[in-house]
Structure 1
Amino acid sequence: MFFLPKNLDNYIVAHSEDEPQILQDLARETHQKVLQPIMLSGPYQGRVLSMISHLKAPLRVLEIGTFTGYSALCIAEGMPANSELITIDINEELEDFAAGYFARFRESGNNNISITQKIGDATQLLPELEGTFDLVFIDADKPNYVNYFHLIMDKVQAGSLIISDNVLWHGKVVEDLNEKDKSTPVLLEYNKLLKEDPRLQTVLLSVRDGLTLSRVL
């Protein structure tokens, strides 16, 4: 999804950090073998996630929505040794695909970073997770965004970051609602929650399809 003219978007990508080879390979294979490759974070958003992770240096990360593992690897780039990333996805058919790239990432010198994949319904799995997380990335089924919000708020602490993807939803958040659309009304509620919750400092960035950063106060 491009909100800027394509040539301007290309210029931004060209003048940002280059996409690492492992992510180029992952993106290429995803486009060749997986339906809806548009779900990839992509080179620009991936570099944004990597930069945020490098700035935060999170020791514990929770990702809701693995897909083929692209965003997890971007975030893992900025994680220090002996850190842990837990990523959840409901699609078991993509588990081995992502696992192969996670293994390649560790073999390339990042073997001190633990990446754990969990397969299943995140609304059921989240309550089972113990401890708190320094960074949470939400990029899963949009109708559950509000549910995810309530489930993660007891798993973050002051200074934790919550990153939410697709919050502009192809621009539909400012269009007339379609009665058959189950995602946009939830995203409207979700965006309002992030804005108004006194526990958060929130800024919505016009990165790709909308990326919101929320800092826990």
Structure 2
Amino acid sequence: MKIIHLILIKLLHFVIYFLLEFFFNQYFCEKSNLMHFISEALDEYVVAHSENEPDLLKALTRETYQKVLQPRMLSGHYQGRVLSMLSKLIAPKTILEIGTYTGYSALCLAEGMNADGELHTIDINEELHDFQRKYFDASAFGDRIHQYTGDALEIIPALETTFDLVFIDADKPNYPAYFHAIIDKMNSGGVILSDNVLWSGKVIEPLQNHDISTKALLAYNALLKEDARVETVLLPIRDGLTISRVL
């Protein structure tokens, strides 16, 4: 009976996982086309004529899709190469990432780090810590990537460093709060990258009362436009990527 009970529990866990993945995929498959602002054929051309995706990141992507819920949260090949290129142009000594997920974007950003640079990445989900660390350690940057688990708004004030590059890709309602938490920790000339700022085009649709994420992003985009401490350009890359340079 004990063995049967354990089998039933494992079966129940599998069914719950499958249903969650199914409904997530159904919802986001419908939304995914809204995250591309050019045709599929032109998108394929853009990717084909950009830098190749490193083998380690291909492996990370495969395992994310096999084992982790919401795999579309990955930055992906093209945006990953954009993040890598921006980091290489900046050559940051210190990087902060808010929202690690499975570590894809952290590894892309790390490619541009100064020779003695360090990357600090924060995520709320402790379940992904070991997954992230496996790929960090398999890279050339493992000993220079520092993981933090918990609420970024509590962790950031305790970080005793300033930053040349920050990437925000976490819960959308807190985007304005993240900006206020990091702005005084930015070095002059530093860059803040913000992901998903077009939010599948919802930023130009009638705002629904219950849609706190879109409301927060509208406020955040306005904040970046109006704040005299930064100069900002919003790019229609994937779901929208903002580049803000700290003055």
With normalisation by structure 2, the TM-score equals 0.85
Using the alignment, how far apart are the partners of 1:38 and 1:131 within structure 2? 32
Equivalent in the alignment of 1:156: 186
2:6 counterpart residue number: none
1:80: how far off?
A: 2.2
Separation (CA, whole Å) in 2 of partners of 1:68 and 1:129:
22
- What secondary structure, in the 3-state scheme, does the structure 1 residue paired with 2:146 have? strand
* Bigger-Rg structure (1/2): 2
- Residue equivalent to 2:8: none
* Residues 31-180 of structure 1 mapped to structure 2, 5 A cutoff: 31-106=65-140, 110=141, 114-180=144-210
- Tell me by how many angstroms 1:157 deviates: 2.1
Distance in 2 between the 1:133 and 1:29 partners? 31
Whole-Å Cα distance in 2 between the matches of residues 156 and 97 of structure 1? 29
Asked whether 1:204 is paired with 2:234, we answer yes
Q: Give the Cα–Cα distance (whole angstroms) in 1 for the partners of residues 148 and 188 of structure 2.
A: 26
Structure 1's unaligned 5+ residue stretches are: none
> Letter of the aligned partner of 1:75 in structure 2?
L
Distance in 2 of aligned mates of 1:30 and 1:7: 25
Distance 1:31 1:210 in 2: 22
- Which of the two has greater helix per residue? 2
Partner SS for 1:183: helix
Could you give the per-residue CA deviations for residues 5-51 of structure 1, whole angstroms, max 9, x where no partner exists? 11111110000000000011101110111111110001110000000
How many positions carry a matched residue from both structures? 213
* Corresponding letter in the other structure for 1:17: E
Residue deviations 1:48-80, cap 9 Å, x none? 000001100000000000000000000001112
Q: Which residue of structure 1 lines up, in the alignment, with residue 50 of structure 2?
A: 16
Amino acid at match of 1:39: M
Deviation readout 1:163-209 (Å, 9 max, x if unpaired): 00000001000001111111000000000010111111100001000
Question: What residue identity is the alignment partner of 1:199?
Answer: R
Identity %: 64
